């Protein structure tokens, strides 16, 4: 899943703090990454360990410009874990990995700059 928003247009609609709390964003570690050849746009199939409670989840991510499958193994990432799963070709994507578009629109992963446990919820 790839969401876009023009950064020059300002914030999107205002939501309540209670609405924000409904979005479950967690920290995980990528344990598997491979090319997703069936995807319409270049993408990787990922398996991400979110620790006890959430477990290992699958995702499809369009992050092929800045990352290789090998470089992603062991990478800490943030993801939304409570969206309904989406079927993307033969892959059932269970979480949305978070990132930001660079100047060319290619995704750069959102990652913590310090260590925290798998499954930690964004606070």
The pLDDT tens digits of the residues spanning 20-69 come to: 999 999 999 999 999 999 999 999 999 999 999 999 999 999 999 999 99
Task: Identify the CA nearest to 101 among candidates 8, 36, 28, 16.
Answer: 8
Q: Tokens 């919820």 label which residue?
A: 121
Secondary element (H or E) of residue 33: strand 25-35
What integer best gives the mean pLDDT of the chain? 93
Domains, the chain: 25-109 (2.40.50.140)
Residue 4 pLDDT > 80: no
pTM over 0.75: yes
- At a CB cut-off of 8 Å and minimum separation 6, what does 48 contact? 28, 29, 30, 31, 56, 57, 58, 59, 77, 79, 95, 97
pLDDT band at 3 (very low <50, low <70, confident <90, very high): low
* Mean pLDDT, rounded, for 80-89: 95
Cα separations in angstroms, 73 against 28, 37, 44, 70: 11, 19, 12, 6
What integer pLDDT is reported at residue 11 of this predicted model? Answer: 80
Residue 5 pLDDT > 70: no
C-alpha to C-alpha distance for 76 and 74, rounded to whole angstroms: 6
* Mean pLDDT, rounded, for 99-115: 95
DSSP assignment of 32-85: EEEE-TTSSS--EEEEEE--TTT-EEEEEE--TTT--HHHHTT-EEEEE--SPP
What integer pLDDT is reported at residue 109 of this predicted model? Answer: 98
């Amino acid at each position: 899943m790839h969401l876009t928003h023009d950064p020059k247009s300002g914030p999107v609609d205002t939501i309540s703090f209670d609405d924000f709390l409904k979005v479950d964003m967690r920290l995980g570690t990528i344990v598997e990454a491979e090319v997703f050849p069936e995807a319409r746009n270049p993408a990787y199939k990922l398996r991400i360990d979110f620790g006890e409670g959430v477990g290992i989840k699958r995702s499809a991510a369009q992050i092929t410009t800045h990352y290789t499958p090998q470089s992603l193994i062991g990478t800490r990432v943030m993801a939304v874990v409570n969206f309904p799963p989406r079927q993307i070709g033969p892959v059932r994507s269970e979480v949305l990995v978070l990132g930001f578009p660079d100047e060319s629109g290619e995704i750069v992963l959102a990652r913590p700059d310090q260590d925290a446990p798998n499954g930690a919820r964004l606070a």
